[in-house]
Amino acid sequence: MTNIKDLIKVQKNFFYSGSTLPLKARKQHLKTLKRALIEMEDEFLQALHQDFQKPEFESFISETGYLIKDIDHMLSYLPDWVGRKRVSGSLLSFPSKSYIYHEPYGVCLIISPWNYPLQLAIAPAIGALAAGNTVVIKPSELAPATSAALKNLAHKYFTPEVLAVVEGAVPETQELLEQPVDYLFFTGSPQVGKIMMKAAAEQLLPLTLELGGKSPCIVDKTANLKIAAKRLAQGKFFNCGQTCIAPDYVLIDKSIQDQFVDELKKHIHTFYGDDPKKSDSYARVINHKHWQRLVGYLKDGHIEIGGEFSEAEKYIAPTVMTNVTKDSPVMQDEIFGPILPIIAYSDESEIVPFIRQYSKPLALYHFTTNKKLRESILKNVSFGGGVVNDTLEHLINPELPFGGVGVSGIGAYHGEYSFKTFSHEKSVLQKSSWFDLPLKYPPYDGKLKLLRNLFKIS
């Protein structure tokens, strides 16, 4: 089915038939999706390598394996989340019972990005299907092989009434945004997020925006520098730095900067060898447009590590830069690539004001053993989520909500938070007829004092 208007109509009708509501149907959709990911794993691994030479290990841990684990978690806990939830009542509505029903929205439109083209298309879909919705996925045209594989998954394993994939570029996205869908879930840049929010506003459409920003990494003088450098290098250069929660820049105590750079150099060499271009553990930049933007940043400071590049291969070596200031072009926007600027501070009091110069980031990382400083930064810096003494790993725990704040995003998902994101919490008060409180009815003469006593207002 290629007609977008007809597709949305078919999904609406299917949703209104009630076929997605039973727990059995929801679990079956999730099990089908899991089976599809297992049976098509080789196809997806090849597609991801074709799109930007993503290593198989990284593809498994952040795409196929990650999603299968996510489905298993959802299947385990979904029966506990689906039923109505009893909540306490009010004396003023006695005798009554109060409940919250988790109601699916209907047709959910998921617009996914190119950097994790499988995970960020399917992870929201897991929550949407678990909540009893139908799903339309619009994958990124910048990862065409993975987009085609997603289309193949939908065609082979699902009917279009339940889950469909619409390929294309801006025209198809615009047409989808004009349709009367019931929920919009977008992952991408803040710039495009504004466009999505404007489109949603035209229909007063509920939405989640998973965006990005300049996520800081703080290394203070109490940190274990060997571990910090190892974990930071892994988190920064995973997926060639094309991760929305990648450490964007490092703030480091001036007294340990040189030692830290030496440690980074050792670990980057251990990870990728003498020539990272020959490493099968290192991905490539997605396309020439992004490659040109990133290469332009290389003149912004002193290159301590890396700096080599090849346009033909869309390759940029893992690069570490110093002598960078807040006014350098590399510090104006999210880098989204394998370039790591290091900025030194002389006093810990400089850390929070520096970070606050930028919009609220999606992530924050702090390598430290200083509990007082750690708690001060966690208290005084607003960010979506973060890790102390590592990077990226808050993404793994389904018990933690994943999302941004302000410019870095609106809403959150993963685990139960995914189920709740794609569910409207419908409040219902069920009143009994065996007793009717006369206090609330006119005439009100003489009743105000009693009411004040009930409210405990003197």
Catalytic residue among 161, 240, 244, 304: 244
Catalytic residue among 161, 210, 304, 416: 210
Q: Tell me the two tokens of residue 256.
A: 């340990």
For 180-228, what is each residue's pLDDT tens digit? Answer: 999 999 999 999 999 999 999 999 999 999 999 999 999 999 999 999 9
The pLDDT, as a whole number, for residue 244 is: 96
What the chain holds in terms of domains, given with CATH numbers, is 4-211+406-425 (3.40.605.10), 216-395 (3.40.309.10)
Q: Which residues contact 288 (CB under 8 A, 6 or more apart)?
A: 311, 314
pLDDT band, residue 2 (cuts 50/70/90): low
Q: Which residues contact 4 (CB under 8 A, 6 or more apart)?
A: 166, 172, 175, 176, 179
How far is 447 from 440, CA to CA, in rounded Å? Answer: 9
Q: Tell me the two tokens of residue 388.
A: 């102390």
How far is 346 from 63, CA to CA, in rounded Å? Answer: 40
**Is the pLDDT assigned to residue 11 strictly greater than 60?**
yes
Active site residue 244: yes
Q: Kindly tell me the burial class for residue 24, based on how many C-beta atoms sit within 10 Å of its own C-beta (0-12, 13-18, 19 or more).
A: exposed
Average pLDDT score over the chain: 96
For 94-135, what is each residue's pLDDT tens digit? Answer: 899 999 999 999 999 999 999 999 999 999 999 999 999 999
Alpha helices in 203-339 (DSSP H): 225-237, 257-272, 288-297
**Is the pLDDT assigned to residue 78 strictly greater than 60?**
yes
The pLDDT, as a whole number, for residue 319 is: 98
pLDDT band, residue 456 (cuts 50/70/90): confident
Active site residue 210: yes
Q: Tell me the two tokens of residue 349.
A: 């009091």
**Is the pLDDT assigned to residue 93 strictly greater than 80?**
yes
**Is the pLDDT assigned to residue 91 strictly greater than 90?**
no
Q: Tell me the two tokens of residue 43.
A: 């196809």
Which of 114-118, 220-224, 383-387, 432-436 has the lowest average pLDDT?
A: 432-436
For residue 100, the SS3 value is strand
CB 246 within 8 A of CB 215: yes
The pLDDT, as a whole number, for residue 450 is: 85
Which residue would you say has higher pLDDT here, 257 or 450?
A: 257
For residue 166, the SS3 value is coil
Q: Long-range contacts for 381-385 (Cβ within 8 Å, ≥24 apart)?
A: 381/352, 381/355, 381/356, 382/406, 383/215, 383/408, 384/245, 384/360, 384/408, 384/409, 384/412, 385/245
Q: Tell me the two tokens of residue 129.
A: 């299907």
The residue type of 339 is I
How far is 314 from 296, CA to CA, in rounded Å? Answer: 14
